[in-house]
A and B are shown apart, each in its own frame.
Chain A
Amino acid sequence: MNTKERKDLAIWAVDYAKKQGATEVAASVYNSRSVEIEVREQKIEKIKESTTNGLSLNIYRDHKYSGHSTNNLNKKDLQTFIKEAVEATKYLSADDFRELPDPSLYPENLEKDLKIEDRSYLSVTPEDKVNIAKEIERVARAQSDKIISATGGYSDDYSESVKVHSNGFVGERISTSFWAGGEVTVKDDDARPEGYHWGGSRFFKTMPTPDELGKKAAQNAIRKMGQTKIASGKYEMIIENRAVARLLYMFVGPMQARALQQKSSYLEGMQGKSIASSKLTLIDDPFIEGGFGSRLYDGDGIAAQPRVMIENGILNQYYIDNYYGKKLNMTPNGGQPSNIRFELGKRDFDSIANDIKKGIFVTSFNGGNSNSTTGDFSFGVSGFLIENGKLVQPVNEMNISGNAKKFWQKLTELGNDPYPYSSILSPTMVFNDIDFSGL
């Protein structure tokens, strides 16, 4: 099926559902292709190729709402599917807030190029892909004779979707992404600590090199050798840029309209108030070129726009989608998070760490969770003890605990080093006085 046929199918599904009794309809037709390769001992361990298609429908029938999806795009089967979906919707309760967005919220211009599609996707050969994974494994394995297992990996995907609403919205989107990385395990007495490093890009040509990926994956494992837990206590905490995202979910969940409306957000009533240290300015930016979260419209078809969510620690706005926005009587502003970037600090990791007398450098989180209603959290961590600016001891099997309300006020510095391989472009962050549990 090509783009035009997908669009025609979405238009047909909208019309057909309306003929069956739907008042309003949103339909998406999507296609995605992907390849995943894993190489071990210079042999392909696994290779998987997939192509998947589907149609999803949101049906509004006199303010009664249901959503449906199927991967069976046979027209005759779709007729039955849509008929039953519209029929089943009538048993639900009416909900005045269930309706498509006001068309004035749809984007006026869909021409902006976000640079998220590599048009040469199909010209990358299977050999190129396998060779990247092999090279990553080779480089990783060469880093130490303590390595007992190394794998190299490659994956890519191409996805295409068309979205049509019965009240006028038509959107099309094509995106690609390319990822590669390695995973390494080292022997360390009884334990076999592991490290990984993956990186990606929207374009094949700008992927990180196998050399960089292989070396970092190996280093991430090797540097964990000898890890141990240390005494419980309050420590200064410096978090590696790639690990910060785990903590940000403590904000992102409670900032959403659903959490507010359902009374499960510790940030309810905090708009315009301080929820973090004045060092923190957090911007949701859907228009970053090549960004992994870049988009022109959200899941409701509403125009995306850059949003300053937190400015110098003050909560500026929430993430408002169409349905819960109506329930809260708040204007939708582009729904869920897209790319998140920060107002950066001036120093890199090394110069920040250099000034730390005693602290813990957290490189990864292991499990744990947070309570969006109260802000309580507790996470497993591993990383390094820092003394007088030096990483003196790898640490693991420890927890940090606290409450998000106080925790974010303890942020003292942000680095100048945003992590590039994620939609959350977080720099290194430093917090003081954090509760660690260990021995």
Chain B
Amino acid sequence: MKATINRRDFLRAGAVTAAGTAILPHLLTGCTSGPSATGHNMTLHDYLEHFGVTKNMIQDIIREGLSKGGDYCDVYFQHMIGNYIGLEDKSVNRAYSDVSLGVGIRVLKGDQTGYSFSEEISMDAMKSAARTAANIANSTTKVEPVAFESPKLPNYYLIKTPWEEVSINEKIPYLQQINDKVFALDNRIIKSNVWFMDETSYVLFANSEGRMTYDYQPMGQISVSCSAEQNGQKEQNGYNLSGRRGIEFFTPENIDLLASEAVKRTTDLFEAVKPKAGELPVVLAAGSSGILLHEAIGHGMEADFNRKEVSIFSDKIGKKVANDFVTIVDDGTNPNVRGSINVDDEGNDTEKTYLVENGTMTSYLHDRISAKHYGVKTTGSGRRESFRHMPMPRMRNTYMENGPHKKGEIIESVKYGIFAETFTNGQVMIGAGDFTFYVKSGYLIENGKLTQPIKDINIIGNGPKVLSDIEMVADDFKMAEGGWTCGKNGQGVPVSMGLPTVKVSKITVGGVNA
């Protein structure tokens, strides 16, 4: 049912999603269309050949899309191959694969969008989809497509070995090693699940303004989840590493890290308590605490919401929203990070966008439609889940830059509060500005010291208010390592986030009442 949750955007952590994830990634050693080349060395010619199309054919489809008077048309070819293998009850006993191939066709008339897609790369099927999308317009004006040019793009995710060249039997030992380590580390462990996921996407994009781009997008992820038992009490938690990476990322050090973090995060929960309910000072640990930014400000700065004036940030550009030492960016250019893109999903260059610079709100995140509405340059934030979806402004890697404080002095400044360290999910109501995130683990801070572990509490705050309540920012920035997926209007895209240690003077913390 697509009917509900529209403007309530959510974020999900890869680690905690249990085995039966809805999407079935995969394991094949080669793909069905038999590409003549793989990986990032492919040329435009290779991409055209991969999809079995020519520039003239694409031009014809665009012309068809513009036939009803649309003022812009783009086409997005995608071939996606996902592989997924899983270990449960000590054996690698399941594998899934998914292949999807198709082309999305979009026609714009002003702010209006017509969209259709075809899963068959034949002229008849593509033209028929183009005619469907064309129907958004109904006028006699004719826009003539411009001859294609392909810009040279940067590459933020060079990898050594394309995933299609890694067969299933090369991946299996990773899972077994991690599982063995998990059980060797702590005799309270009773179950361990390990998943190895890789995905490769080939994208060819062209529009009626003559821009043609292509991109090879790899993604790798290993997730570990374990259950432990102590005196009849059970706990479960996990850890995962993800990025636009090849298999070389899974070094012996990272394999050790996966096992040791998963075990530590699970067994720490045995000692955990719940804080008292109410407004408390919250210190966010460096790293995945960037979830605060994603929810408190990131979604509200996506310009589609502001164009419709439904975001609490709709009138905040140019205004002072936080202390001088607060600078928040959304960046598509971080090497090998999960939310990085070489080019956005409407063919525009990506960039590092300043949302808040030295405490002042500077820019929204724009796609083509919103940039045109505001008369500004796009920020390269137009993203989509796949060829089956139309692009919209989305985050990439959202983080705060280092500030003037030290982690030690931040913790020492808190008399009673919480130190939030790991998270499972977050959500925001764009208009009211209420955002939440779920703290899986952390610590109580009592009299300036970390004392008992805490677990399973939701934090709820208001975006603009929390920004102005950021009291201290440390100099220990860290990017999240896990596989975060952001959901908006039914589309999921990979993102990342980061934060130095940060103190917020007060947020409402779920807890118990005396």
Binding site for B on A (CB under 8 A): 36, 40, 43-53, 56, 64-72, 77-78, 80-81, 84-85, 88-89, 91-95, 98, 126, 148-149, 151, 155, 177, 179, 181, 183, 185, 190-194, 196, 198-200, 224, 227, 229, 232-234, 253, 258-259, 262-264, 292, 327, 366-374, 376-380, 382, 396-401, 421-422, 435-439
Contacts and interface: CB of A to CB of B under 8 A. Distances in A.
A366 B431 CA distance: 13
5 contacts: A68-B98, A367-B428, A380-B427, A380-B460, A396-B434
Contacts of B310: 148-149, 185, 192, 194
Contacts of A374: 233-235, 456
Interface size class of B (residues with CB under 8 A): 35 or more
B33 A373 contact: no
- Return the 6 tightest CB-CB contacts between A and B, nearest first: A367-B436, A399-B510, A367-B427, A437-B277, A192-B431, A378-B510
Interface of B: 1-4, 6-8, 10, 18-20, 24, 26-30, 32-34, 85, 88-89, 91-102, 111-117, 119, 132, 135-136, 167-169, 172, 190-191, 193, 227, 229, 233-236, 274, 277-279, 308-312, 314, 388, 390, 424-438, 455-462, 464, 508-513
Nearest to A234: B513
B4, B92, B101, B169 — most chain A CB neighbours (10 Å)? B4
B117 A47 contact: no
B431 A92 contact: no
Given A72-B32, A366-B8, A52 B119 contact: yes
A435 B457 CA distance: 12
Contacts of B96: 66-68
Nearest to A436: B277
A44 B95 contact: no
A81 B431 contact: no
A424 to B, nearest CB: 11
A435 B277 contact: yes
B114 A398 contact: no
A45 B24 CA distance: 32
- Most chain B Cβ neighbours within 10 Å, of A72, A224, A379, A439: A72
Given A71-B102, A369-B458, 18 more contacts: A72-B101, A72-B119, A84-B30, A88-B168, A91-B167, A148-B310, A191-B312, A193-B429, A262-B19, A263-B234, A264-B18, A327-B89, A366-B460, A374-B235, A380-B458, A382-B429, A437-B510, A437-B513
Given A148-B310, A398-B508, A92 B102 contact: no
Contacts of A80: 32, 34
A407 B111 CA distance: 48
A91 B28 CA distance: 12
B6, B19, B193 — which one has the most chain A CB atoms within 10 A of its CB? B6
A69 B97 contact: yes
A437 B3 contact: no
Given A77-B32, A95-B91, A379-B458, A68 B97 contact: yes
Nearest to B117: A50
B94 A65 contact: yes
A78 B28 CA distance: 13
Contacts of A67: 24, 94-97
A66 B96 CA distance: 6
Given A70-B32, A200-B1, A263-B229, A191 B433 contact: yes
Contact of A292 (B1, B88, B112, B431): B1
Given A196-B4, A196-B6, A435-B277, A368 B436 contact: yes
Given A44-B112, A367-B438, A379-B458, A373 B27 contact: no
Nearest to A148: B309
A369 B438 contact: yes
Contact of B277 (A50, A232, A369, A377): A232
Given A380-B460, A437-B511, A367 B426 contact: yes
Nearest to B28: A84
A185 B458 contact: no
B6 A183 contact: yes
Given A194-B429, A366-B436, A401 B512 contact: yes
Given A198-B4, A367-B438, A71 B427 contact: no
A385 to B, nearest CB: 16
A421 B2 CA distance: 12
Contacts of A36: 2
Contact of A421 (B3, B111, B115, B509): B3
Contacts of B91: 93, 95
A46 B109 CA distance: 10
Given A44-B112, A367-B436, A49 B309 contact: no
Contacts of B34: 80
A53 B219 CA distance: 25
A48 B136 contact: no
B449 to A, nearest CB: 23
A170 to B, nearest CB: 22
Q: Which of B119, B456, B457, B458 has the most CB of A within 10 A?
A: B458
A318 to B, nearest CB: 15
A148 B307 CA distance: 12
A183 to B, nearest CB: 6
A77 B277 CA distance: 58
Contact of B112 (A43, A88, A263, A379): A43
Contacts of A149: 308-310
Contact of B115 (A47, A376, A397): A47
A15 to B, nearest CB: 19
A179 to B, nearest CB: 5
Nearest to B461: A397
B132 to A, nearest CB: 5
A66 B457 contact: no
Contacts of A65: 93-95
A190 B509 contact: no
A81 B32 CA distance: 6
A227 B24 CA distance: 42
Contact of A194 (B93, B115, B424, B432): B432
A382 B8 CA distance: 13
A254 to B, nearest CB: 11
A196 B7 CA distance: 9
Contact of B458 (A44, A95, A401): A401
A91 B510 contact: no
A259 B112 CA distance: 46
Contact of B95 (A88, A262, A439): A88
B289 to A, nearest CB: 15
Contacts of A85: 28, 97
B7 A183 contact: yes
A368 B135 contact: no
